[in-house]
Amino acid sequence: MAHPSQLGLQDAASPLMEELLHFHDHALMIVILISTMVLYIIVAMVTAKVTDKFILDSQEIEIIWTILPAIVLILIALPSLRLLYLMDEINNPHLTVKAIGHQWYWSYEYTDYEDLAFDSYMVPTQDLTPGQFRLLEADHRMVVPAESPIRVLVSAEDVLHSWALPALGVKVDAVPGRLNQATFIVTRPGVFYGQCSEICGANHSFMPIVVEAVPLEHFENWSTLMAEDA
C-alpha cells in the first residue's frame, strides 16, 4: 500500500513484481550514468569553451558514441525481454478467477467452483469504518490463497477497463468480447489494492480492486461459506 510522500514503487508482494523492481533500478542507474556524462560534457564545453579539433572531429569519438548507445540498448533490452516472457507464462495455476469489468464495478467468477461468483462495488465514503481507505475499499474482496499460482482471466461487459494491482505487478486490459489473462503468486498474506487503469467513463475512479491473500485453509473455509450463501 502506498503512503504519503512515498518515493518509488510499492513494496513487491509477488516474484514478478520483485523482478520488475530490479529492472526499474537497473534501468534507472543506466539513465543516471548517461545523464551525468552528458551533463559533464555540456558543462565542460560551456565553461572551458572546448573547441579542440580532436574532440569535435575525432574518428575515435564518433566510433565510441555509435557503439556505446548500442551497448546500452542491449543492457536494457535483454532483461526487459526476459521479463516480458515471464509475464506471459502460465504454469499450472492452482486457481482461476475471471474478472469482468462493468460501469462501474468488478464482478468475479471462480471458475473452479460451481456457484462462487459475486460483484465488487466500492464502499461509499460515508460507510467506511476506521482503518479502511477512501476510494480503495470494496464491499467484496477477491480472496485468493497465498503462495499459490493464480490465473486471472480479464474481460469487460461494456467499455474498456484495466485490472491493475501495482504491488503484484499485474496490469491487464479488459476488452469487451476478448479474454486476456495474467498470472501471479502472492508471496505473503495481506490485502492489496488497485484501481481501474483505463479511462472508462464518469465513475472511472470509483471501481477499486481489492485482493486479499490468505493461507490455503482459510481460503477453503471462505469458499465453502460463499458457496453456501450463494
pLDDT tens digit sequence for 41-94: 788 777 775 555 555 556 777 788 889 889 999 999 999 999 988 888 877 899
In the block, residue with C-alpha cell 460451481: 114
| 83 and 146 co-located in one domain | no
Do 105 and 68 have their domain in common? no
What pairs with residue 145 in β-bridges?
A: 214
Residue matched to cell numbers 489494492: 193
Q: Rounded to an integer, what distance in angstroms lies between the CA atom of residue 152 and that of residue 50?
A: 59
Confidence category of residue 99, pLDDT binned at 50, 70, 90: very high
Q: Is 102 in the same domain as 65? A: no
Q: Is residue 225 part of a domain?
A: yes
128 and 55 share one domain: no
Structural domain includes residue 2: no
| Biggest CA-to-CA distance, the chain | 83
Shared domain for 104 and 165, answered yes or no, is yes
Cα 162 to Cα 207: distance, rounded to the nearest angstrom: 10
Q: Does residue 10 sit within a domain?
A: no
Say whether both 82 and 104 belong to one domain. no
Domain membership of residue 5 (yes or no) is no
If residue 220 lies in a helix (H) or strand (E), which one and from where to where?
helix 216-229
Quote the pLDDT of residue 65. 80
User: Is 152 part of any domain?
Assistant: yes
Number of separate domains in the chain: 2
* Tens-place pLDDT, residues 163-218: 999 999 999 999 999 999 999 999 999 999 999 999 988 999 999 999 999 999 99
Residue at which a domain ends, from 62, 88, 114: 88
DSSP single-letter state for residue 96:
E
Q: Which of 40, 60, 88 is a domain's end point?
A: 88
Contact yes or no for 167/181 (Cβ under 8 A)? no
Closest C-alpha to 165, from 14, 37, 7, 8: 14
- Domain containing 206 equals 95-229
User: In CATH, what number is assigned to the domain containing residue 117?
Assistant: 2.60.40.420
pLDDT in tens, 128-139: 999 889 999 999
Could you tell me the pLDDT band of residue 2, with boundaries at 50, 70 and 90?
low
The verdict on residue 185 lying in a domain is yes
Co-location of 70 and 109 in the same domain: no
